[in-house]
Amino acid sequence: MKKNQYVSLLILMFCTSTLFANILYIDKSSFTNSKLLNYTIADASDLLKQSKVSVADKETSVNWKIVLVLEQNKMAYKTLYDANTKATQQFSIQSSKENNVSTIVVTSQSEKGLSNGIYYFLQNKLGFQFYHPKETSIPDLSNYVLDTFTETITPRFDKIGFHIHAMHPLEITEALLNENTPNGAEEIKAYIDWLSRNGQNYFEFNLLRSIKLKTWIPYIKPIVDYAHERGIICGADMSFHMIQQRAFQLYKKFPASFRKKDKQILDNITQLMQVNWDVWNVEFATTEFTHKNQDKLHEQQKFLFDNLSKYKVKLTSRKHVVKDENLISNAKSVKTKRTDMDSAYALFVHTVMFYGLQDSSTPVYRNKDFSHLRNLLIESKEYRDTWYFPESAYWITFDNSVPMFLTPYLDARMKDILYCDSLGIDGHLTFSSGWEWNYWLIDWSIARWCWNDTKKAEPLQFLKEVVKDTSFIDFVTKANDLQTDFIKDKQLIKVLTAQTITDEIGGKLNLEFHPRPEYSYKYIMNKATKEELDFIQKKYVDMLDAYVKVYNYLKSTSNILPKNKIEKEILLSLDITALRAEHRKNTLSYLIAYRLSKLNKTKNPVQQYLDAAKSVRENALVMVKQQEQNYRYPVASLAAEKKSKTVYNFGYLYPVSNLHFWEREELQAKNNKWKFYYQNIWDVLKIIGVKK
């Protein structure tokens, strides 16, 4: 052999040995007929190959081996819902080494538990990070040395998962509701895979009355079947006759339908149960702000319960964040006693925005705090399945539609999970409203906090898994502390959110559902006294200015330089949140200066404030276009006008694409226009259900 050929052979041998330094064998001989485990093993094998681990078909000549052990479970479960408990989802995982072969033994009472253990091994031991349905962090394991360990990992709740709020035009809304969506089934399955990889066992979304059951059911049925094959419980969110946002109605009233109500309900049951739903999450009220006659409520609950019993569907309903005394009601709507249907139905207790169960101040939906919901969780869990149902984003005018990346969500969701775990709550269901502008981090963190592993829970602990730069993490930590101090605790959120319809409509409907300042912007500009203007200046304008200055100083002294997509995405999100504060400072300053000039009967210049606001908005628009390059789904799908199964004929980030709310605030101030329909993008009549 010639010298150069010999050298080439040595190089080839070296590269090959480096590339396949770790060779893995997964012993699946006992589970050849298990669709669940075959999906998981195939997925894990593909991921490992991408990480430069060779996956062998035979046990010989390997140095890693995964053994799956299914423990005997004498419990007989009637449904997939019943079969998913903390005990059956739990797994033990042990790694030992002998004769240079590392053996990883995963033990559980269920195949889903074994699947959870495999994905835990990949994510927590090997460094895969399943942070987004469309993206995964793949480590280089070509020379990875496996540690020895023994752990038992338990979920904090029997049921853990996500509700995709398909009333809103989110990433996969159309895929869920429109059978003609290109690659729709694949998009949904990718999300189901994400749930599986992160140890979730529940998936739910809203049905809307815009779906065409005849063609939609054959489309969605194999998708739900796929979820079941992956061990995921599937829930359908619907209503008896809710009129808001095209909620699917089990019956329609005259003149929409001439048929008897009971007949409509029975027909819908027959059609919908062609899909093997495990859970129906049913809204019984006409709106989330109204009570229902208690006798009629019991009658409807029992009728549905009796007629769904043969399908073994778990029925649930929810408690909205509005206090009972603040709902529109009459004497017959006031609940005075518990009924048999209370224990028959599970209860999902809902909270909103970045507020937590134990927060002292929650200025949303006319609440001082969430003590009424906290007390309900404690009471309800004693006699029925009770789940906590918080939000990881609040699309309409609060966070990602503005846009702002509100990091206090992380602390609120983490603390609530730990608190609900301490109470022994049965389930945790996250109300998900979009993943861009880093809200994927909130969802991913929630998914992982719902497992009680060996690490202490911290708000940014999972960001540290995908961002290894300690200086960048330090910057984000300080930025998060700053947001918590100024935006949440000092309540700058009251002016940073965009106005919603109930903030600007008059009369009895002028209700505080979102955080809002003590005085309306119309009042500040036209009627405020000097004392009131001074209050707004000190509480909001000065604090906005302080927040912006501290953030800019923090950024300038941190010397951070984003090195990858995630770091760029996070920095842009935090920067634009600070620019939002600067923009609001300028528009509020204009209102105050304008009013003072009227009170003082002077002609002091005020236009400079609106000019400054416009300049800030234009700078922010540049960042929006940069961020759009980071979107995981087509910009045209997320951030443009389009036809939709929802009442919104645009993607959920359309208001962000042109910073609609920012410009609207400038125009409102410039023209002194404050009606809710001024520069309005919402079809209010569709939203409230008056028109189709």
pLDDT tens digit sequence for 356-408: 999 999 999 889 999 999 999 999 999 999 999 999 999 999 999 999 999 99
CA dist 491 → 494, 540, 655 (Å): 6, 8, 24
Q: With the C-alpha atoms ordered 373, 375, 343, 323, is the resulting torsion angle positive or negative?
A: negative
pLDDT in tens, 599-654: 998 888 899 999 999 999 999 999 999 999 999 999 999 999 999 999 999 999 99
- For 289-296, what is the mean pLDDT? 71
H-helix segments, 283-333: 294-308
**DSSP, res 25:** E
Q: Rounded to whole angstroms, how far apart are CA atoms 588 and 535?
A: 12
Confidence of residue 151 (pLDDT cuts 50, 70, 90): very high
Q: DSSP secondary-structure letter at 200?
A: -
| Mean pLDDT across 405-425 | 98
CA 215 to CA 600: how far, in whole Å? 67
Residue linked to tokens 């899909």 = 275
Residue 687 reports pLDDT greater than 90? no
- Position 9 scores a pLDDT of 38
Name the band, by pLDDT with cuts 50, 70 and 90, for residue 685: confident
Of 372, 328, 383, 379, nearest to 350 by C-alpha is 372
Contacts of 603 (CB under 8 A, 6+ apart): 597
Contact status, residue 384 vs residue 345, Cβ threshold 8 Å: yes
3-state class of 610 per DSSP?
helix
Write phi, then psi, for 561 (nearest 5 degrees): -135, 105
With vertex at residue 203, the alpha carbon angle to CA 202 and CA 209, rounded to the nearest 5 degrees, is 145
Instruction: Give the Cα separation of 404 and 574 in Å (integer).
Output: 8
Helix (H, G, I), strand (E, B) or coil at 140: coil
At residue 473, does pLDDT exceed 60? yes
| Chain-centroid distance, C-alpha 411 | 15
Choose between 21 and 526: higher pLDDT. Answer: 526
Per-residue pLDDT band for 503 (boundaries 50, 70, 90) equals: confident
**Residues 288-313: b if buried by 16+ CB within 10 A, e if exposed:** bbebbebeebbebbebbeeebeeeeb
φ and ψ at residue 202, rounded to 5 degrees: -145, 140
pLDDT at residue 334 is higher than 80: no
Residue 144 CB burial class (10 angstroms; 0-12, 13-18, ≥19):
middle
Are residues 66 and 104 in contact, defined by beta-carbon separation less than 8 angstroms?
yes
DSSP 49-110: HHTT-EEESSSTT-SEEEEEEE-------SSHHHH--HHHH-EEEEEEEETTEEEEEEEESS
Partner residues linked to 93 by β-bridges: 106, 151
pLDDT in the model for residue 10? 39
Rounded alpha-carbon distances, angstroms, from residue 329 to 247, 288, 290, 301, 317: 21, 12, 6, 19, 19
Mean pLDDT, all residues of the chain: 92
> Which candidate, 434, 436, 430, places its Cα nearest to that of 573?
436
**pLDDT number for residue 515:** 93
Cross-sheet strand order for the sheet of 54-56: 54-56, 23-27, 64-70, 101-108, 91-98, 149-155, 451-452
Task: Enter the pTM of the model.
Answer: 0.94
In 337-439, at which residue ranges do the beta strands (DSSP E only) sit? 346-350, 386-389, 427-432
Q: What are the residues facing 68 on neighbouring strands?
A: 106
Question: Residue 432, Cβ neighbours under 10 Å: how many?
Answer: 24
